[in-house]
Amino acid sequence: DQVDHQVDEDEHHGHHHQVGHHHRAIELVDAVDDDWDKFADFATYDAFTREWLSQARRVMKPSATIFVIGSYHNIFRVGAIMQDLGFWILNDIVWRKNNPMPNFRGRRFTNAHETMIWAARSQSDRNYTFHYDLLKSGNEDVQMRSDWFIPLCTGGERIKDGKGRKAHPTQKPEELLARIILSSSNPGDLVLDPFFGSGTTGAVAKRCCGQAVRAALSRHRARSGLCQSGAKPYRGCDPA
């Protein structure tokens, strides 16, 4: 099946010498240090990124678009690979966080944003879905800008494990996913998130579009995500 919209929370930051965001003697932040986020070198990360983006592009309808969310660790490499593969970048969108994690050692600017790349399948695919008027009407009749001021996922929205710890290190806020999905999807569309993670994309897509295609990377992530989305696993995903 081809999909109408893709949301890719590319949680893989490509850490190798900077594993777990521990920049030697510089700073230590609460971030991703799971095994799935560790790569031997940039070449290994680039090969991984090229493969999943190629498969994502393969299943996109001509009217589909893709959002890829990343940080300064990886988004520039991702963008270059997307252009090499033939994606046509429509916008880069800055997600500004009004409650970012502080920079504890004062050696860098507080990292208060992530970058989203929004792209069509190719330059020739010009009939992509985009609800300009809907976004404008929900923004006090002002054009929706490419900088979005949305807080981090906290409080009751944050999914916790049995020990009260956050179940996924990069869970995105529902407000962010809702704006993405509503901007470029229609009721009944298939929404694909290759990195299902906490399941926020599936939960929001189910409310906005009625259905979503999902893919989880591990049984632990599948359990967390299915708990939120209330949906059955996608194809080979076994949450047991």
pLDDT tens-digit series, residues 28-43: 344 555 554 578 899 9
Residue 208's pLDDT band, with cuts at 50, 70 and 90, is confident
What single-letter DSSP state applies at residue 90? E
Give the closest residue to 121 by CA, choosing from 79, 149, 156, 89. Answer: 89
Q: Is the pLDDT at 106 greater than 60, yes or no?
A: yes
Whether the predicted pLDDT of 131 surpasses 70: yes
**SS3 label, residue 7:** strand
Q: Is residue 27 scored above 70 in pLDDT?
A: no
Residue 119, number of CB atoms within 10 A of its CB: 26
pLDDT at 16: 35
Q: For residues 71-78, give the mean pLDDT.
A: 93
pLDDT, residue 232, reads 36
- CA–CA distance, 72 with 78 (Å, rounded to integer): 10
Question: Could you give the CA distance from residue 44 to residue 14 in angstroms, rounded to a whole number?
Answer: 9
Residue (of 229, 232, 194, 187) closest to 210 by Cα position: 187
Average confidence score pLDDT of the chain: 75
Higher pLDDT, 160 or 200: 200
Q: Classify residue 72 by its DSSP letter.
A: T
- 55-to-6, 19, 48, 51, 122 alpha-carbon distances in Å: 12, 27, 11, 6, 14
Percent of residues, the chain, with pLDDT higher than 90: 42
By the 10 Å C-beta count (0-12 exposed, 13-18 middle, 19+ buried), 59 is classed as middle
Q: Which residues make beta-bridge pairs with 7?
A: 67
Q: What's the pTM?
A: 0.75
